[in-house]
Structure 1
Amino acid sequence: MAVPVYKRILDLFEAEGVNTLFGIPDPNFVHMFAEAEARGWSVVAPHHELSAGFMAEAASRMTGKPGLCIGTLGPGMANIAGAVQCALVENSPVIFLGGQRARVTERRVRRGRIQFVRQEPLIAPSVKYSASIEYADQTDEIIHEAIRRAMSGTPGPAYIEYPSHVILAELDVAEPLPPNRYRLVNQGAGAPEIAEAAKLIREAKSPILLVGHGVHTSRTGAAVKELADLMACPVIQTSGGTSYIPGLQDRTFPYLFSPAANEAVEQSDLCVALGTELGEPMHYGRTQHWAG
């Protein structure tokens, strides 16, 4: 069945459970915005692209799904740059779509082009994956690769450029693949690593669980509660993991801001860290209360 590229992009994100689009419509994307609205998506168009980027980053945390944000060519993508950096440092899987001039216009020897700058070289250092849909038949592979990179390993943002010459181009495609048909889902540790961790936990006399915001974005709170109950230990929160897991309120303490948390860290002989980079707010797990 032949479908235009802008509809196929929405189809691919719908297969991931995405139904919210953030951004400000422009000629590159007005068709996509109208189609998303017709499908019943939530289409959020704030007054500034930076707000759209931050909203998409927050949505990825709240839903556990890729955030989707659109920036118009030139100043729109410049405005969104701060949100791209935020998604990078916060490990949030946000897909940023950037409009761009048709390549035939870009390559002409002319000056004074409206809203034109080479965007991909500017954005690429701040994302896990960057690509441009130059031909209609690249749509599936580029969208899939962007989502695969954004959601795999340590999550993070991806950037896809969308030149205007492919807006209405059509391609013949089958139904979109479900996520588990083209990327790794429900990632887990191998059996040897799990066995080693279990041995360390059994031998520990004063273990603690350190919980970061990755536990919440991966929706693994129930599994963490089960582990905490088995370990019968304190749960220490990082600054990014300060949402309580139901049923663990009586043993959950914020690191550094709670004397009980700091004492538990100082007296522990094993720390099981989940969903955290052990970054500067945690003193890298080496200094201050960890030093003892």
Structure 2
Amino acid sequence: MRGSKAVLTLLEKEGVDVMFGYPGGTTLTLYDDLLTSNIRHVLVRHEQCAAHMADGYARATGKIGVCTSTSGPGSTNLVTGVATAYVDSSPMLVLTGQVATSALGNQAFQEADSFSMMMPITKHNFRLLAPAEIPEAITRGVSIANSGRKGPVHIDLPADVQKGEVPEAEMKREFPEPPPLEDFHDLPEAIKILRAADRPLLLVGGGIIWANASPEVLQLAEMLMAPVTTTIMAKGVIPEDHPMSLGIIGMHGKEAARKAFMEADVILAVGTRFSDRSSGAQSELPMSTKLIHIDIDPGEAGKSARTQVRMVGDAKKGLQMLIKGLQTTKGETAWSLRIKEILKNCACNINVPSTPVLPQFAIFELNRTLPKDAIVCTEVGQNQMWAAHFFKARYPRQFITSGGFGTMGFGFPASLGAKVAFPNKAVIDIAGDGSIQMVSHEFATAVSENLPVVVCVFNNGWLGMVRQWQKLFAEKRYSGTELRDNPDFVKLAQAYGADGVHVERSSELQEALRTGIDAGTPFLIDIHMDPEEDVLPMIPPGGNPNAVIRGRCTWK
């Protein structure tokens, strides 16, 4: 079997049904064999967006996403998207074409050392030098991407390797992967601490989503009467209208989450890496606060110096063992009553119609108008933080965003990947006028592939988050942040064959959303917003968690 045909056959065997990519000279044989493959190919307009689409597909489904490019500039264009997936632990298989093995190292046309370039931003790399190596690379690559802490795997495919013949015996071989490291020997101590806790709190991160452990989080929270706060990567892990949900924690998180975090006597952290943007406040915790940490990555488990109990392993398995070991359910406690009080103090009114539109009100309308099962993706910046703070996520994988890498331009292509996975769900991208201009060419992909997503552009004429920092911390010395002479975004979408509408008044927004959802074509809603509205509350960078800038926040 020809090498390129073997690649596609093995991917089909692994359950892959879609690939996002852009062809080139070194992948001609791969694309030739795609004509007879069952794998759908989505032709992107830029390779970075192929990676983002594969990432969005993976986050929406929990399955591996696959993207491909040619060599040289094709592979370098993939880098940002691969790094985004790596930081957020999203499983991807990244296939890059390469010059023939005889030309490697000779600065051949469109040659780049993709193997070395991808090394810091992938879980594993394969450079294939013979067709017989293809089965092991594909089979092990998918397994590595999906096991342990998930992430992207890169396979470099020289042109002659794709053209060569793969021995039939190699196609039938199996390549088992060893199970990931596991260490739950401190489980009895964790159970003891949780039983004795008066004010337990669950801090959960994206690892819970990848482990499909949302039911266990909810069960344990209700057993312990422990509130749940999440990082942005775990938003929606339990319904955010649940009485035990505190919402997201961090620099732009909920005041309820921050307050409960500071008052808890035991914190059970699961599937979170304690990033500076989510839980930097741990240094301000009382010394008496006990911290239990479960993570599948040995390098992350126990990362906080405050950790009393460290366990390494699958989040779902760890939570199931805790539930089995505790075997008790608390009723109403002084702590659960305190949480009710905290939540009551953190109930902002975001039904604030105005002209120009306030971002809070835009999220209010999204909460009110979107179908309950809609998928919401975001770009990065103020639009992302408004959505993370105020959008009410109801289930895991409903809210998709770039967390650790903070990649502008992620949301729109990610929404297209999600729409490929769930064509019958409404899929929304919440964008800024800065972010959307980085990837607006993908309206061509959306139209040609019949992917009717709705893009809500929060248009305030600025790179809003950078402007906000200049306003708050640099005495309003605005430099390089005003987006002068923005295009007419509706006309831009229409030029690609999509449609759209301008929204200048709050009263126009609900109708625009309904029109977009029902349009049956990619649809852009250009929402003109107040540039003076900042994303608050906010803990200043490096600041004390009690030194919160609140703005409109009515926290008492």
- Assess same fold via TM > 0.5: yes
Residues 76-132 of structure 1: CA deviation (Å, up to 9, x unaligned): 011111112212222222221111111223366xx7x32122322222222221121
SS at match of 2:135: helix
Specify which of 263, 271, 280 is matched with residue 275 of structure 1: 271
Q: Aligned AA for 2:58?
A: S
The residue aligned with 2:255 is 259
- State whether residues 93 and 155 of structure 1, in contact with CA within 8 Å, keep that contact through their aligned partners in structure 2: yes
Q: CA deviation at 1:207?
A: 0.8
> Counterparts of 1:203 and 1:59 in 2: how far apart (Å)?
42
The residue aligned with 1:76 is 74
Alignment of 1:190-229 (within 5 A): 190=183, 192-229=185-222
> Counterparts of 2:173 and 2:197 in 1: how far apart (Å)?
48
Specify which of 156, 159, 163 is matched with residue 158 of structure 2: 163
Specify which of 136, 140, 145 is matched with residue 141 of structure 1: 136
The residue aligned with 2:349 is none
Aligned pair in 2 of structure 1 residues 189, 146: CA closer, same or farther (>3 Å)?
Answer: same
> Counterparts of 1:196 and 1:12 in 2: how far apart (Å)?
45
Specify which of 120, 129, 138 is matched with residue 124 of structure 2: 129
In terms of Rg, which structure is larger?
Answer: 2
Specify which of 19, 28, 39 is matched with residue 21 of structure 1: 19
Q: CA deviation at 1:75?
A: 0.7
- State whether residues 249 and 279 of structure 2, in contact with CA within 8 Å, keep that contact through their aligned partners in structure 1: no
What percentage of aligned pairs have identical amino acids? 27
Query: Is the aligned partner of 1:119 residue 2:117?
Result: no
Q: TM-score normalised to the size of structure 1?
A: 0.85
> Counterparts of 2:72 and 2:80 in 1: how far apart (Å)?
15
Aligned pair in 2 of structure 1 residues 158, 246: CA closer, same or farther (>3 Å)?
Answer: same
Q: Aligned AA for 1:265?
A: F
Q: TM-score normalised to the size of structure 2?
A: 0.47
> Counterparts of 1:226 and 1:217 in 2: how far apart (Å)?
18
SS at match of 2:232: coil
Aligned pair in 2 of structure 1 residues 38, 203: CA closer, same or farther (>3 Å)?
Answer: farther
Q: CA deviation at 1:191?
A: 5.0
SS at match of 2:274: coil
Residues 175-230 of structure 1: CA deviation (Å, up to 9, x unaligned): 575xxx72357x69555243332222212111111121222233221222222222
Residues 44-80 of structure 1: CA deviation (Å, up to 9, x unaligned): 1110001101111222222222221112111101111
- State whether residues 205 and 232 of structure 2, in contact with CA within 8 Å, keep that contact through their aligned partners in structure 1: yes
- State whether residues 11 and 176 of structure 1, in contact with CA within 8 Å, keep that contact through their aligned partners in structure 2: no
Q: CA deviation at 1:289?
A: 5.9
Aligned pair in 2 of structure 1 residues 188, 106: CA closer, same or farther (>3 Å)?
Answer: closer
Aligned pair in 2 of structure 1 residues 215, 27: CA closer, same or farther (>3 Å)?
Answer: same
**Higher relative contact order (Cα pairs below 8 Å, separated by 6+ residues):** 1
The residue aligned with 1:91 is 89
> Counterparts of 2:238 and 2:173 in 1: how far apart (Å)?
35
